[in-house]
C-alpha cells in the first residue's frame, strides 16, 4: 500500500471516529472551521476552508484559489471538494438547507466562529438547522497521536535538537539575539522544515527573565544567561524545545538555579503517564522548585500539548484534572525568572505511551558555559 493510501485510510478513520463523537453529542453533523482541524481531517493546507462532516458524507468548502490544490490534498480521503462561488458561509448554509430532511442539529465551534459569521450561517441555512456549540471534539481526537504522527514528531524533535547543537558554536559576545534567531530559522529550513513553530525566542542577560521575550538587536554580552526557545514545523507537525546556556563562567548561584530547574523538569517527566492528572505533573515541578526556594520565580504552567499546533490540549497547569492518555505529546518546560539577573528554562517534547514515556528532543541538558 502506498504512503498516500495509508494517509487516506488514516484520515477516513479520523472522520469515522468524529462521526461517532457527533452521535454521542446528539448531533447530526459538525462544521469544522479551524484550519489545523481541517488539515487533520482531510489533508487540506490552504488558508480558507470549512469542512462539513455529515453521517454519510464529508464536504470541504474552499475558494477558487484552491481549485487544483484542494482535490489533490483530499484525494483518497473520501472528502468531496466544493469550490464556493459566493463565499463559504453561504455555500455551507445552502448545502444544509437543501433537501427535505427535517430539523437538523449541527455542531460548530463558537470560539472559532465570529458572531457575524454565526449570524450569516443561521441566515443561510434557514430555520430547520439548529446550531449547537461544540467545544473541543476535534481537538480531543488530535490530542492522541497515531504511529505516523509520532514518527513525524520524532523527526521534528530531532531536527530542532540538531539546530540547537549547531547554534552553540555561534553564541559568543557581540552577536545579536536577532542574528542567532535568524541562523536558527535558516538552519531549520535547510534541514527540511517548512518554518518555525512560533517566533523563535532568543533572550540574553536580564531579558532572559522575560518568559516570552522576542529577539532584538541587543548584543549578547560576557557573563550572562541566554535562553533559546526554538521549534520547527515538519510535514505540518511542530517541535518545541528550550535550552539555556551561559556565556562565560557561571557563578555558583546561577548554577544552583539551573540545577533546580533541571531537577524540576526531571520530576515532572517522572510524573507523566497515561491516566495521570495533568495538574499532578505541574505539581511535581512546583514541589521541586519549592524545595529549592524558587517556587515564586516559576510564573507559568509546566507544559502543553503539541502537534499540528504548538499549543494544544492537554494543558499541564496547576489544578488541571484532565487525564493524560497514551498518544499524547506534551512539552515539559519549568523555568525560573529573576528580574534583573535573568531566567532559565529547560523544555523537552515527551510522548506518553502505554508503558512509559519517550523524550523526543535530544539536545544535551548539561549546563553549557560557552
Q: Hey, which CATH number is domain 3-142, 3.40.350.10, 3.40.50.970, 3.30.43.10, 3.40.50.300?
A: 3.40.350.10
Average pLDDT over residues 347-367: 98
Do 245 and 208 form a contact (C-beta atoms < 8 A)?
Answer: no
Q: Are strands 104-108 and 29-32 parallel, antiparallel or unpaired?
A: parallel
Q: pLDDT tens-digit profile of 21-78?
A: 999 999 999 999 999 999 999 999 999 999 999 999 999 999 999 999 999 999 999 9
Question: Average per-residue pLDDT in the chain?
Answer: 96
Q: By three-state DSSP, how is residue 95 classified?
A: helix
H/E stretch holding 228: strand 224-230
Distance CA 90, CA 121 (A): 7
Average pLDDT over residues 114-125: 93
- List the chain domain ranges: 3-142, 147-359
% of the chain exceeding 70 in pLDDT: 98
CATH of domain 147-359: 3.90.230.10
The pLDDT confidence band at residue 86, using thresholds 50, 70 and 90, is confident
The per-residue pLDDT for 99 is 60
Q: Are strands 58-62 and 49-53 parallel, antiparallel or unpaired?
A: antiparallel
- Lowest-pLDDT range of 105-114, 205-214, 266-275, 305-314: 105-114
Show Cβ contacts of residue 270 under 8 Å, excluding neighbours closer than 6 positions.
284
Distance CA 89, CA 131 (A): 14
Q: Is the pTM of this model over 0.85?
A: yes
Do 263 and 271 form a contact (C-beta atoms < 8 A)?
Answer: no
The pLDDT confidence band at residue 337, using thresholds 50, 70 and 90, is very high
Beta bridge partners of 241: 230
Residue 144 in grid coordinates: 492522541
Amino acid at each position: 500500500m502506498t504512503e498516500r493510501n495509508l494517509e487516506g485510510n488514516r484520515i477516513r478513520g479520523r472522520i469515522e471516529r468524529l462521526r461517532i463523537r457527533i452521535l454521542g453529542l446528539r448531533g447530526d453533523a459538525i462544521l469544522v472551521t479551524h484550519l489545523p482541524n481541517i488539515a487533520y481531517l482531510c489533508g487540506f493546507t490552504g488558508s480558507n476552508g470549512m469542512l462539513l462532516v455529515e453521517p454519510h458524507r464529508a464536504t470541504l468548502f474552499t475558494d477558487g484559489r484552491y481549485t487544483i490544490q484542494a482535490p489533490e490534498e483530499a484525494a483518497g480521503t473520501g472528502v468531496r471538494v466544493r469550490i464556493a462561488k459566493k463565499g463559504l458561509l453561504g455555500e455551507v448554509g445552502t448545502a444544509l438547507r437543501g433537501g427535505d430532511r427535517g430539523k437538523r442539529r449541527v455542531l460548530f465551534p463558537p470560539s472559532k466562529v465570529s458572531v457575524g459569521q454565526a449570524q450569516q450561517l443561521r441566515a443561510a441555512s434557514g430555520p430547520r438547522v439548529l446550531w449547537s456549540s461544540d467545544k473541543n471534539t476535534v481537538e480531543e481526537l488530535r490530542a492522541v497521536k497515531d504511529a505516523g504522527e509520532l514518527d513525524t514528531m520524532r523527526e521534528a524533535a530531532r531536527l530542532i535538537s540538531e539546530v540547537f547543537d549547531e547554534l552553540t558554536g555561534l553564541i559568543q559576545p557581540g552577536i545579536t539575539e536577532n542574528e542567532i534567531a535568524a541562523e536558527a530559522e535558516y538552519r531549520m529550513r535547510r534541514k527540511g522544515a517548512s518554518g518555525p513553530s512560533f517566533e523563535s525566542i532568543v533572550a540574553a542577560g536580564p531579558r532572559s527573565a522575560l518568559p516570552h521575550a522576542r529577539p532584538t538587536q541587543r548584543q549578547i554580552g560576557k557573563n550572562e544567561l541566554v535562553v533559546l526557545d526554538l521549534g520547527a514545523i515538519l510535514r505540518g507537525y511542530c517541535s518545541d524545545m528550550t535550552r539555556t546556556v551561559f556565556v562565560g563562567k557561571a557563578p555558583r548561584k546561577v548554577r544552583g538555579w539551573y540545577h533546580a530547574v533541571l531537577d524540576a523538569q526531571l520530576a515532572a517527566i517522572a510524573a507523566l503517564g497515561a491516566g495521570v492528572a495533568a495538574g499532578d505533573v505541574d505539581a511535581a515541578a512546583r514541589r521541586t522548585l519549592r524545595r529549592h526556594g524558587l517556587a515564586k520565580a516559576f510564573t507559568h504552567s509546566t507544559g502543553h500539548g503539541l502537534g499540528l499546533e504548538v499549543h494544544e490540549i492537554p494543558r499541564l497547569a496547576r489544578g488541571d484534572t484532565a487525564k493524560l492518555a497514551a498518544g499524547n505529546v506534551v512539552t515539559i518546560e519549568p523555568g525560573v525568572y529573576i528580574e534583573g539577573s535573568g531566567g532559565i528554562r529547560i523544555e523537552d517534547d515527551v510522548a506518553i505511551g502505554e508503558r512509559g514515556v519517550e523524550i523526543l528532543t535530544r539536545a544535551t541538558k548539561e549546563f553549557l558555559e560557552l
